[in-house]
Amino acid sequence: METITKRYPSVIKEQAPLRPINSPVDLCMACGTCAAGCPLTGTKGFDPRKIVRLVLMGRDSELIDSKLPWLCTMCGKCEHACPMGINIANLIRAARGMVEREKVPGMIHKGVELGLKTGNNLGLPAEDFVFIIEDVGAELAETPGFSDFKIPVDKKGANLLHTLHNKLVNTQNEDLVHWWKIFHLAQEDWTIPSQNWEGVNWGLFSGDDDAMKTFIGRIVEHMEQLNISSLMYPE
Amino acid sequence: MFDLLVDYIRSGRIRLDKTKITHRVAYHDPCNYGRKSQELFGHGYYEEPRWILDQCISDWVDLFPAGGNQYCCGGGGGTLLTPYRDERIHYARRKMEQIKRTGAKMLVVPCHSCHGQIKAVAETYGMPDLRVKYLWEVVADILIID
Amino acid sequence: MIKNTKILVVGAGISGIRSALDLAETGHRVCLIDKAPAMGGILSQLDHQFPDNHCGMCRMLPMIDRDNGQQFCLRKGLFHENIEILLSTEIISIEGNAGNLTVTISRRPQGVDPDRCTGCRDCESECNIEISDEFSAGFRKRKAIYLPTPHQIPNQRVIDWDTCSLCGACRDACPTGSIDLDNQPETLVLENIPAVIISTGVELYDPGHVDLYGFGHLPNVVTATAFERILSSSGPYQGRLFRPSDGKALKKIAWIQCVGSRNIMIGADYCSTACCMFAVKEALLASRKIGKDARTAIFYMDMRTFGRDFQRYKDRAEKDAGIRFVRCRVHSIEPAENDKDILISYIDSSGNPIDETFDMAVLSTGKNPEFQLPEFASREGVFTVNSARGFMDIQGAVISASVASEKAGRSVSKKGSALLQQRPEKLYFDAVCEEKPQLQIVLCTCGDFLKPVLDWDRIKAELKNMPGRIEIARIKMICDQNGWDEMIAMLRNTTANRLLLAACNPLVYLPRLKELSQETGIMPSLMEVINLRSMVDQATDLAFRTRAVLCELEMSIRRLFSHNPVEPALYPVSKSALIVGAGPAGLTAAISLAVRDFKVSLVEKTSRLGGNWSNIQSAESRETIRTLVTEVENHPLITIHSEAEVIQSFGNPGRFVTRIRSNNKDEKSLLHGVTILATGGRAAETTAYSYRKNNKITTLFELEERLQQPDFAVGSNATIVFIQCVDSREEPRNYCSRICCLKSLKAAITLREVYPQSQVYIFYRDIMTYGNSEQVYTQARRKGVMFIPYDLENKPRVRIESGRIMVEGSDPVLDEPVFFEADLVALATGIVPNPAADLVSIFNLKTTCDGFIREADSKWRPVDTGREGIFICGVGRSPSRANEAMDEGKAAAQRALRILSKDTMIASRHTARVRHVFCSLCETCMHVCPHGARYMDFELQRVQVDHAACQGCGVCAAGCPNSATIIESFEENGIMGAIEAAL
């Protein structure tokens, strides 16, 4: 005996913030634009049109339980041409957010947890961090034209707060200096925080709005403490 | 970030030596600074990086499609942090074909995810020598030091 | 200020021309303006039209009173004595009240005096400005002084002031001094304008506005209009299919539908209606031109083949020409690896991603969503043609133009039949057959140009030697007013009864021959114009030139001398109409004619008005129809014959006699000038999908009916399934009924609103919400109606299991089966025409294979039949929605008014004549006549020609085994004589 098809009230669409025009998934014409434009269509069952259709049928759990949301880069190319303005990327993100945290694949949620606990996704203590950047800074000071270079850490009243992508601190130290050179020559009044210097927000990836807000909140708090007016956030 | 660089260059706070980079360079628009920024903040950063490139490099080219309809490199949305490596590499094929077709020796990106992804897959797509640089790295490389 | 009682028609595209001709043919004076420097609108760029893939625009030309207008290709230009045409002219404002408007227009000078320009192009070669040519969609360059369309007559250049640098080079180069560089626009205030018709058309969407299609970046991505130029033999590659980037012969072409349409993100919540068939037509033409290597594909969302003959055309395109139809909206277009071909990524019917390269992509661009009508379009007394509101196919545009002319004409007549201006006209000429032929030749010397290039002494001498009485006069320039006046003065004093004008382009002079005949009394059919200039331009040697001119002159002389016209009999018009069928279309037509003071006999088969069709109407249309019925019942000029049928009819346009039988016994003869058939249709029956086996399986029409009932109820959690295209759009009933999709959508919306917990599914093949009805489709989805596409190989199945209704199907999007237990199933069975075989044979008409009455031409003459004076409208002709049927009723009435507004039917110059002495009454001519202009006069035992309906095409003459038929002006003697002279 076949199972009777039933359409259940949709869940995810309520959570996807609306685009400039009020466009819930219901408006989908199944025209195929999104699937035609996505480089991932057909890979391991990924197909944005099918994802929208699942949500339209109210079969959200099938989507949430699959790895499909994690294959998507949420780049938004599909919805760029969607004639009905359906916000597919936000749909994906909402689905990611509904996955039980321990089931979040890869390092994303681990990074979030570390970030929440320590202020950066690597879980690096402040003294280690300061040591690394000061070491790289000292190296730069040996380069001609930068002899008076010094890293301003936690400088009160600076003009610009500089946060860092954790990978530069972790494995790609050589890429730290580019901005520093520019700041130096531009005679910018800048500073790097010794705590909460994390410049990427993996809450965005994991669909974790609360974590995202916490990370942002810490940086803002920091800026207020140090009385800094501008922020440079690499992502 | 773009605004800061534009401000530094325009106000003369930094000066650049445009003769330093002579080979062809291609530019890739990251989703976050383009489509996403357009959607969330009402402004996509398409003009600014191109203006900066004009100040830095004489032979830089756009990929097609660029701007709002560009292809994602495949490394966005945290996919660099998931175990789905094969899918991620597959995703990049369009972008990598485009880069190859331009004949550029260097790709400039203003995004850490794109940087990581393209560096990681370049060899798979037959471009082991492709150099991938941050936009600010290009600027830092050609700063005129008095 | 200009006091003026002309109706103003704004926009000289297909709709504007139709409106202007409609009004001109019913005796109104019209001023037709267009902001472009040439007429024809977008259709001037299109050579081929569905369904026969030819042009056919000329079929809109007047077919009665033909001599009042031109008789040549309408794309070349338009002439009608009641129509004044102002080009490069725009409306600035409209003030005043309905019936008495003051219109301010601004007219830019064209820069070149049309009376002097000889089309020599010296100006163009001198002009040093070069820009992309709009007409050829940018495939060619043009100068700032240029020919807006290549086929126009006269082929006079105009100056594009926006790009002209006013350097004066063209002026200095012009040999006839016809260029004036004063570019100041002239503002004219037109007072007492009785009505204005807006037929400006819509703007096309510019695909360069979005970054999706590479338009403007990839040279091998073109718009459908540009592709039409590639197809054209006057196009950039002389009709061969090459592509712009590298001239490679095209083989693989993709059409991308819905570019700029059906996209709420750009404010385009509408379907542009015409693009689907436009693309099928282009793909078909391209496939034929390319031959067996052609590989064409159309990427679409819904193939909107909603017209009567569209589905079969599309099926032929798919099966016979191998055009691939791919159901996928294309995301974007990219360059292929070689950078010349283009790459299209799409998903196939199973959802597999496919990357395919094509030689070229054609974008089916629709209406520009930013386009808006000017504010004055909504004024009272201003009538807007529907095709100025949204994109339309030709048939729709032509019908809506006639609707606007009907409204404008009605408002002007103010319930009186008096037309604005009855023109005094000399209809009868002296019986020249009694006189000896005498010929006046007028030779135009084109200023001093022709004097040195011809041997005038020899011409004179040779002409003198020709037999017959010939007078010769030379005039310096007939085209300017002085020359013209000089000629008129001379002709007034001549006794000649034939005139030969040797000047330049005859098409320029033909419109003025009527004026000339009114002034001089020479019959128009005894005048000829030949082109002296072109002969002179072609030959280089004086003796040869002179010989060529003499040869041409002699040919005309021979024709004119041997032509001996007979005055055809004229007859009065019966000022009344017979309308068969009292549905929405027939009722509307009846009112349209009655308010213009014409008597109407309305014959209805059933006992009540409103039509059998009122059963399949929605609530709001029913209200409209009820009002219409009351109006008809109370109109003193309308006589209703209910339970009546037509049993016999004969006669000619303006004079029909029809016998009707009422209540199966009383017979009566009606004399009427025109006949309108509005026989309507009814719901189709079906046995599919277990219909009637369970009372929860109904037709869509029954469901609509039930939804109106106060006791209608389904469970609040009900599952309701609609199935579209039941027995439709497949043989034998292979057409779209046009009304079902909209009805299902509306019913589904109602159900979702009343039962928010219900599940509503619609199985469909293509949703046919063309035009603004697309919004209803959008609304239905917004309301949570679920749409499941199916194709003919994969229809849903309905079965009943112990009283439960089970619907099985598959969802191609998820590629999964779906299975519903339905509380209600609605079958969209569509409509069929009412049987009309008897009527069709009584009126000698034709039907389609589905039993719809066939029109004369589905695009250009949609409400005419093959017989002049007999018109069709409504569902009897083609499936249509109620408002469309009523529009057709108005359009048919407007066509009928051309005859009813005349007192006498007037024959045209070139018509057939039977030499009864040779006639064997074989009736071949009657069978072959495409205009139904021949009939047997049983009293006289003769085959007669209806000179009003005859178009002088000559098919009868060719078919006659005894050469009994001749065409006036083309008699054997004259033609043979001309050929002899030419040898």
C955-980 pLDDT, tens digit per residue, is 999 999 999 999 988 888 888 988 98
- Between CA C514 and CA A134 the distance in angstroms is 101
State whether C58 and C195 are in the same domain.
Answer: yes
Q: Which of C789, C806, C829 is where one domain is finished?
A: C829
At C69, which CATH number? 3.50.50.60
A164/B contact by beta carbon, under 8 A: no
Which of B72, B94, B111, B135 to mutate against chain A (most A CBs within 10 Å)?
B72
- Per the structure, how many domains does chain C have? 7
Residues C156 and C288 in one domain: no
Positive or negative, the CA dihedral C473, C475, C478, C484 is: negative
Residue C314 contacts residue C193 (beta carbons within 8 Å): no
Cα C882 from Cα C583, distance rounded (Å) = 9
Please tell me which residue of chain C has the smallest CA distance to B99: C337
With CA atoms as reference, the chain B residue closest to A109 would be B81
Among C78, C75, C83, smallest CA distance to C25 is for: C83
Query: How many whole angstroms separate alpha carbon C573 and alpha carbon C905?
Result: 6
Q: What is the residue extent of each domain of chain A?
A: 12-99, 108-232
Number of neighbouring beta carbons within 10 Å of residue B127:
18
Contact present, C29 and C827 (Cβ < 8 Å): no
Rg (CA), chain B: 15
The residue type found at C740 is: C
Same domain membership, residue C340 and residue C273: yes
| Interface list for A 127-146 with B (CB within 8 A) | 144-146
pLDDT of residue A235: 61
Which residue in the set A67, A74, A89 is minimally distant from B84, CB to CB?
A67
Look at C334 and B65 and tell me if their CB atoms are within 8 Å.
yes
C397 close to C60: Cβ distance less than 8 angstroms: no
Among residues C353, C785, C301, C778, the alpha carbon closest in space to that of A31 is found at C301
Please judge whether B140 and A177 are an interchain contact, meaning their C-beta atoms are less than 8 angstroms apart: yes
Angstrom distance (rounded) from CA C638 to CA C632: 7
CB-CB under 8 Å, B67 with C334: no
Q: Which chains touch A (3 or more CB pairs under 8 A)?
A: B, C
The helix (H) or strand (E) run that includes residue C256 is strand C252-259
Q: Test B35 with A186 for CB contact under 8 angstroms.
A: no
C523 shares its domain with C651? no
* C244 Cα to chain B: minimum distance (Å): 20
Contact flag C781-A35 (C-beta cutoff 8 Å):
no
What domains does chain B contain, in order, with CATH numbers?
A: 2-141 (3.40.50)
CB < 8 Å to B69, chain A: 77, 80-81
Q: Kindly determine whether residue A73 and residue B77, on different chains, have CB atoms separated by under 8 Å.
A: yes
Q: Distance (Å, rounded) from C-alpha B67 to C-alpha C544?
A: 67
Say if residue C581's pLDDT is above 50: yes
**pTM score of the predicted model:** 0.92
Query: Residue C365 pLDDT > 60, yes or no?
Result: yes
Q: In terms of pLDDT, which residue wins out, C436 or A129?
A: A129
Of residues C730, C849, C874, the one with CA closest to residue C792: C730
Contact C212 B69 (CB under 8 A): yes
Average confidence (pLDDT) over C295-299: 98
- Number of Cβ within a 10 Å radius of residue C634: 8
Give contacts of B 50-69 with C, CB under 8 A. Answer: 64-65, 67-69
Burial degree of C540 (CB within 10 A; 0-12, 13-18, 19+): exposed
Contact C888, C858 (CB under 8 A): no
What is the β-pairing status of strands C158-159 and C145-146? antiparallel
Average pLDDT (C626-632) is 95
State the nearest Cα–Cα gap between C828 and chain A, in angstroms: 20
In a domain, C801, yes or no: yes
Is B90 in the C-facing interface, judged by CB distances under 8 Å? no
The superfamily in CATH containing domain A12-99 is Alpha-helical ferredoxin (1.10.1060.10)
Helix (H, G, I), strand (E, B) or coil at A108: helix
| pLDDT band of C612, cuts 50, 70, 90 | low
- Within a domain: residue C982? no
Partners of residue C781 in chain A, C-beta under 8 Å: 26-29
The C-alpha atoms of residue C639 and residue C739 are separated, in whole angstroms, by 31
- A185 CA: distance to closest CA in chain B (Å): 6
pLDDT tens, position by position, A38-54 = 999 999 899 999 999 99
Determine, for residues C332 and B64 on separate chains, whether the beta-carbon distance falls below 8 Å: no
CA–CA separation, C272 vs C909, rounded Å?
A: 43
- The answer to whether residues C328 and C384 belong to one domain is no
More confident: B108 or A205: B108
Per-residue tokens: C403: 């609707």
Closest residue by Cα to residue C589 from C638, C649, C655 = C638
Residue A218 contacts B, CB cutoff 8 Å: no
Establish if B78 touches chain A: CB-CB under 8 angstroms: yes
CA–CA dist C872, C865 (Å, integer):
7
Please check whether residues C407 and C436 belong to one and the same domain. Answer: no
Looking at C773, C801, C829, which one is the last position of a domain?
C829
Which chains share 3+ C-beta pairs under 8 angstroms with C?
A, B
Interchain contact, B4 vs A232, CB within 8 Å = yes
Angle of CA points C545, C502, C75, to nearest 5°: 105
C567, part of any domain? no
Q: Which residues contact B21 (CB under 8 A, 6 or more apart)?
A: B56, B57, B58, B106, B138, B141, B142
Contact B69 A75 (CB under 8 A): no
C590 and C640 assigned to the same domain:
yes
Between C238 and C533, name the one with better pLDDT: C238
- Chain B: nearest CA to A108, how far in angstroms? 6
On chain C, the residues whose CB falls within 8 A of the CB of B69 are 211-212, 332
Please indicate if any CB of chain B lies within 8 Å of the CB of A200: yes
Percent of chain C with pLDDT over 70: 96
Q: Which H helix or E strand runs over C470? A: strand C469-475
- Percentage of the residues of chain A whose pLDDT score is greater than 70: 91
Same domain, C532 and C587: no
pLDDT digits (tens, 9 = 90+) for C218-229: 999 999 999 999
| CB spacing of B64 vs C337 below 8 angstroms | no
Instruction: Give the number of residues written for chain B.
Output: 146
Check: CB of residue A227 under 8 Å from CB of residue A156: yes
Size of interface A-C (CB pairs under 8 A): 101
Confidence at B106, pLDDT banded by 50, 70, 90: very high
The shortest CB-CB distance from B134 to any of A175, A186, A188 is to: A175
Neighbours of C494 (CB within 10 A): 16
Token duo for residue C691:
């219909």
Dist CA C15 CA C394 (whole Å)? 9
Whether A46 and A73 have beta carbons less than 8 Å apart is answered as: no
- The pLDDT assigned to C196 comes to 96
Structural domain boundaries, residue C71: 1-108+185-202+371-425
Whether residue C805 is contained in a domain is answered as yes
Model confidence at C531, pLDDT cuts 50, 70, 90, reads confident
| Distance in Å from the first CA to the final CA of chain A | 52
Decide if C972 is inside a domain: no
Q: Is there a single domain that holds both residue C249 and residue C121?
A: no
- Which of C332, C337, C339 is closest, CB to CB, to B65? C332
**Residue in chain A nearest C718 by alpha carbon:** A6
Average pLDDT over residues C615-621: 68
* Contact criterion met (CB < 8 Å) for A42 and C327: no
Show residues of chain A in contact with C345, CB under 8 Å: 36-37
* Residues near B70 by beta carbon (within 8 Å), at least 6 away in sequence: A77, B28, B29, B31, B34, B63
Kindly tell me if the per-residue pLDDT of C358 is higher than 50. yes
Residue A203 pLDDT class (50, 70, 90 cuts): confident
In this structure, the answer to whether residues C335 and C439 fall within a common structural domain is: no
> Which is nearest to C796 in space by CA: C906, C690, C955?
C690
Return phi, psi of residue C232, to 5°.
-75, 140
Query: Residue C617's pLDDT band (boundaries 50, 70, 90)?
Result: low
Half-sphere exposure of C8 (CA within 13 A, CB side): 33
**Which of C211, C332, C337, C344 to mutate to test binding with chain B, by most B CBs within 10 Å of its CB?**
C211
Q: C65 and C15: one domain? A: yes
Kind plus residue range of the DSSP H or E element containing C554 = helix C542-562
Indicate the pairing of strand C196-198 with strand C186-193.
Answer: unpaired
Alpha-carbon distance of C159 to C148, in angstroms, equals 9
Query: Distance (Å) from the C-alpha of residue A79 to the closest C-alpha of chain C?
Result: 10
Q: Does C779 touch chain A (CB under 8 A)?
A: no
Q: What is the ipTM of this complex?
A: 0.93
B35 touches chain A (CB under 8 A): yes
In this predicted model, which residue has the larger pLDDT, A15 or C70? C70
Q: At what angle do helices B2-10 and B47-56 cross, to 10 degrees?
A: 40
Interface-testing mutation among B35, B39, B47, B64, with chain C (most C C-beta atoms within 10 A): B64
pLDDT band at C426 (very low <50, low <70, confident <90, very high): low
Question: Minimal Cα–Cα distance from B20 to chain C, Å?
Answer: 30
- Chain C residues inside the 8 Å CB shell of A54: 814
Position C647 pLDDT exceeds 90: yes
Check CB contact under 8 Å for C781 and A28: yes
Q: Are B75 and A71 in contact (CB under 8 A)?
A: no
Sign of CA dihedral C400, C402, C408, C411: negative
Same-domain pairing of C670 and C581 = yes
Chain A contact present for C300, CB below 8 A: no
- Is C211 in CB contact (< 8 Å) with chain B? yes
**A175–chain B Cβ distance below 8 A for any pair:** yes
B neighbour chains, 3+ CB pairs within 8 Å: A, C
Confidence band (pLDDT; 50, 70, 90) for C613?
low
Cα distance between residue A132 and residue A138, in whole Å: 10
Which of A43, A81, A200 is opposite residue B90, by nearest beta carbon?
A43
Tell me which of A88, A180, A185, A229 to substitute to probe the interface with B (most B C-beta atoms closer than 10 Å): A185
